[in-house]
């Protein structure tokens, strides 16, 4: 069995953004040479997410509006966590959107349904953050 590990680095220039990372993850599979196996992709930070959904701009706007209703960024003083930081909303948004995805690899490609794409969800950006890609198989 082969094993592959890579960190993808991001520095998003806004506080919140959804980034389609499907191509970068496929590049990892290509580099690994693994044709049959499992891929784990997770954010290594507790204020950003990795999740699978549709690459459709209306839906991305809907995610932003929905997450702001559930955990509004402001006022900052509504959260106890914000006594030393201002990112309580980002921790909550990350929890809702998830930490990781696991994808089957078949024939050297992600075994996706028709509209599935992998996204990095940044909720407290403007700094360096990492996503881990781990692949096992043969």
Closer to Zn ion by Cβ: residue 68 or 116: 68
User: What is the separation of C-alpha 100 from the centre of its chain, rounded to a whole number of angstroms?
Assistant: 7
Q: How far is the CB of 46 from Zn ion (least distance, A)?
A: 7
- Return d(Cα 126, Cα 131) in angstroms, integer: 15
Number of residues written out for the chain = 138
Closer to Zn ion by Cβ: residue 54 or 85: 85
Q: How far is the CB of 110 from Zn ion (least distance, A)?
A: 32
- Return d(Cα 132, Cα 2) in angstroms, integer: 17
Pure H helices in 33-83: 57-70
Q: How far is the CB of 100 from Zn ion (least distance, A)?
A: 19
Closer to Zn ion by Cβ: residue 23 or 74: 74
Residues that bind Zn ion (CB under 5 A): 85, 87
């Amino acid at each position: 069995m082969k094993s592959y590990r890579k960190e993808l680095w991001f520095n998003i220039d806004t506080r919140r953004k959804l980034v389609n990372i499907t191509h970068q993850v496929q590049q990892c599979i290509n580099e690994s040479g693994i044709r049959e196996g499992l891929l784990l992709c997770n954010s290594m930070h507790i204020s950003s997410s990795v999740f699978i959904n549709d690459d459709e701009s209306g839906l991305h706007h809907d995610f932003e509006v929905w997450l702001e209703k559930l955990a509004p960024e402001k006022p900052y003083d509504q959260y106890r966590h914000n006594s030393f930081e201002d990112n309580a909303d980002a921790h909550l948004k990350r929890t809702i959107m998830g930490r990781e995805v696991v994808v089957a690899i078949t024939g050297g490609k992600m075994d996706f349904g028709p509209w599935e794409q992998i996204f990095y969800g940044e909720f407290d950006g403007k700094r360096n953050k990492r996503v881990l890609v781990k692949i096992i198989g043969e």
